[in-house]
């Protein structure tokens, strides 16, 4: 594999200018998968007309959204502006989810700015009567920041809401149940924890410590994408909260992780990004997977 990574594609204007002519979607356009399974739109998550264009009469079983977090690394807005904007895409999500469906939202908390926007977002979500709060998941990164004068920051937060009564399939980690000494009385008999569970492995809880964050040595790495989520995390969400052939929505495609996870697990994915470069990367990542079986480019890149 060649060592030819791209810089951060949101901020490097010279590289952006070179890549834009190679992007097949202009703002407002939607790519239809020739195999009929997925759609990728160069659309705005907060625009009702755009989402209507993406969805047509389709309704999704699951939405997995990973918006820009309002942290310093992203284009910063006032927190109330971020929340007003979020309300728009959450409302649109509610409109295009099926009667029984799940919504997952990845969100950061800036520890130097009163943990914004996470608490503000949680309070805002109370206004949506159709969504029930279900879980607050933390994914633990392996590498953190800020270890000298503070606790090392390693968390990524994931909010789980439901609409109606969707199914939930329990998921298991790769971690074997090796702990002994945890007993319980079941029907008058003392049983060990390993005898009661369905699996030899530990069930996934709301703290995920078994998922490696993406870095350049991993096959799934897409260079230039500064906010790529691990496939394993998205696959866990999809397997828990949807069934084969059902439709999954993602309004913030970026490197196209949700679409790739859907392709691997036999779901359909309708995904959008406001930036034509990330739409092109998402489409190329799917094409690359279908052609080579690879989920990313490691330390090479999608525009080679
Ligand atoms: C945090 S990244 C998503 C990462 C993604 N989950 C992955 O694994 O690659 C957020 C993305 O949202 C896109 N975005 C920002 N504002 C948007 C909007 N109004 N509509 C659609 N996409 C938007 C950005 O261009 C960026 O690619």
Q: What is the pLDDT of residues 7-43, one digit of tens each?
A: 888 888 999 999 999 999 999 999 999 999 999 999 9
187 is in which domain, residue-wise?
Answer: 29-213+243-252+263-274
State both tokens at 139: 């994914």
Q: Residue 45 in contact with residue 67, Cβ under 8 Å? A: yes
- 70 — pLDDT class (breaks 50, 70, 90): low
Which CATH number does the domain housing residue 191 bear? 3.40.50.150
* Ligand 1 contact via 263 beta carbon (within 6 Å): no
Distance CA 75, CA 227 (A): 13
Query: Mean pLDDT, the chain, as a whole number?
Result: 92
- 73 — pLDDT class (breaks 50, 70, 90): very low
Distance CA 21, CA 19 (A): 6
State both tokens at 205: 């809880």
Q: Residue 181 in contact with residue 253, Cβ under 8 Å? A: no
Q: Does residue 179 lie within any of the structural domains? A: yes
Q: Does residue 47 lie within any of the structural domains? A: yes
Query: pLDDT tens-digit profile of 213-238?
Result: 999 899 999 999 989 999 999 999 99
Q: Which residue has the higher pLDDT, 304 or 253?
A: 253
- What phi and psi values does residue 238 have, to the nearest 5 degrees? -65, -40
Nearest atom of ligand 1 to the alpha carbon of 69: 1
Give percent above pLDDT 90 in the chain. 78
Which mutation among 273, 279, 281 tests ligand 1's pocket best, with the greatest number of atoms within 8 A of CB? 273
Q: Which of 289, 251, 287, 286 is nearest to 271 (CA)?
A: 251
Q: Which of 207, 255, 247, 248 is nearest to 231 (CA)?
A: 255
For the ranges 44-48, 70-74, 100-104, 286-290, the lowest mean pLDDT is seen at 70-74
Number of domains in the chain: 1
Q: Does residue 7 lie within any of the structural domains? A: no
* Ligand 1 contact via 251 beta carbon (within 6 Å): yes
Q: Residue 153 in contact with residue 111, Cβ under 8 Å? A: yes
Reported as type and span, the H/E element at residue 234 is helix 231-241
* Ligand 1 contact via 54 beta carbon (within 6 Å): no
pLDDT at 117: 94
Q: Does residue 120 lie within any of the structural domains? A: yes
């Amino acid at each position: 594999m060649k060592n030819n990574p791209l810089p951060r594609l949101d901020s490097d204007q010279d590289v952006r200018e070179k890549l834009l002519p190679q992007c097949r979607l202009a703002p407002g356009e939607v790519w239809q998968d020739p195999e009929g399974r997925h759609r990728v739109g160069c659309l705005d998550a907060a625009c009702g007309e755009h989402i209507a264009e993406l969805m047509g009469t389709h309704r999704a079983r699951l939405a997995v959204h990973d918006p820009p977090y309002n942290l310093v690394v992203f284009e910063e807005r006032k927190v109330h502006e971020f929340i007003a904007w979020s309300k728009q895409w959450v409302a649109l999500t509610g409109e295009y989810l099926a009667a029984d469906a799940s919504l997952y939202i990845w969100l950061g908390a800036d520890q130097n700015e009163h943990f914004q926007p996470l608490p503000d977002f949680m309070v805002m979500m109370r206004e949506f009567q159709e969504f029930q709060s279900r879980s607050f998941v933390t994914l633990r990164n392996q590498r953190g920041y800020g270890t000298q004068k503070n606790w090392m920051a390693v968390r990524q937060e994931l909010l789980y809401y439901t609409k109606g009564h969707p199914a939930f399939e329990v998921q298991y980690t790769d971690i074997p149940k090796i702990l002994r000494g945890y007993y319980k009385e079941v029907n008058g008999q003392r049983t060990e924890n390993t005898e009661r569970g369905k699996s030899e492995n530990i069930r996934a809880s709301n703290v995920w410590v078994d998922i490696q964050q993406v870095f350049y040595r991993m096959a799934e790495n897409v260079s230039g994408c500064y906010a790529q989520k691990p496939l394993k995390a998205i696959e866990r969400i999809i397997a828990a909260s949807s069934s084969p052939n059902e439709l999954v929505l993602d309004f913030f495609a970026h490197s196209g992780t949700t679409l790739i996870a859907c392709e691997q697990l036999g779901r359909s994915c309708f995904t959008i990004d406001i930036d034509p470069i990330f739409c092109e990367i998402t489409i190329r990542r799917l094409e690359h997977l279908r052609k080579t079986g690879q989920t990313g480019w490691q330390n090479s890149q999608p525009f080679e």
